[in-house]
């Protein structure tokens, strides 16, 4: 992982702002997240978190995660913003996804970007690896962090709350 500085940081902040705009479409009742995928300064995919296919009958946002069986590894009812952005890119720009960069952001109730947690989602990290995305970008409390996707995946598997 490395911290972005200077012009690279300013460009990343602009992309994080765009990801926050995408997050405004999120319908999850727990968290609103947005994601964009960029290749050569072009946004090639976007995603936000919401139930699959916008099917309200799939919504379980208010369920207590502790009530799920231990075998249920993803206790959210929503498709993650990263998953949706990757699927969107694979449909609309499959020839551009290799070596792209994924920007992820969570927004607060006013639509402002908040800091992201440490890498923890193995579902999204595996999907990004398989799709050929080279880097994950997150905004932490002080910095913009860029992770090689392989490193992000390793950290996700090692995460413990």
- Domain locations in the chain as residue ranges: 2-158
| Predicted local distance difference test score (pLDDT) of residue 64 | 56
Alpha carbon separation from 132 to 4, 30, 45, 96, 148 (Å, rounded): 22, 29, 14, 10, 11
- What pTM, to 2 d.p., does this model score? 0.88
* Residue tagged 């392989």 (tokens): 150
CA angle 85, 109, 4 (to 5 degrees): 55
Beta-bridge mates of residue 107: 32, 113
What are the phi and psi torsion angles at 109 (to 5°)? -65, -15
How far apart are the C-alpha atoms of 131 and 142, rounded to whole Å?
Answer: 29
For residue range 41-79, what is the model confidence (pLDDT) as tens digits? Answer: 999 999 999 888 765 555 455 555 555 445 445 556 689
Topology of the domain covering 2-158 = Cytidine Deaminase; domain 2 (3.40.140)
For residue range 44-54, what is the model confidence (pLDDT) as tens digits? Answer: 999 999 888 76
Q: What is the 3-state secondary structure (H, E, C) of 46-97?
A: EEECECHHHCHHHCCCCCCHHHCCCCCCCCCCCECHHHHHHHHHHHHCCCCC
| Predicted local distance difference test score (pLDDT) of residue 59 | 47
Residues 105-119 have a mean pLDDT of 92
């Amino acid at each position: 992982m490395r911290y972005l500085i200077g012009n690279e940081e300013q460009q990343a902040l602009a992309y994080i702002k765009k990801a926050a705009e995408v997050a405004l479409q999120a319908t999850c009742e727990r968290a609103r997240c947005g994601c964009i995928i960029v290749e050569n300064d072009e946004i090639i995919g976007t995603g936000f978190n919401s139930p699959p296919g916008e099917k309200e009958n799939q919504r379980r946002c208010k369920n207590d995660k502790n009530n799920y069986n231990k075998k249920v590894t993803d206790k959210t009812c929503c498709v993650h913003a990263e998953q949706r952005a990757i699927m969107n890119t694979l449909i609309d720009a499959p020839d551009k996804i290799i070596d792209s960069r994924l920007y992820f952001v969570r927004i607060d109730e006013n639509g402002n970007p908040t800091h992201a947690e440490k890498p923890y989602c193995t579902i999204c990290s595996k999907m990004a690896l398989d799709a050929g995305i080279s880097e994950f970008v997150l905004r932490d409390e002080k910095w913009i962090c860029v992770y090689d996707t392989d490193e992000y995946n390793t950290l996700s598997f090692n995460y413990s709350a």
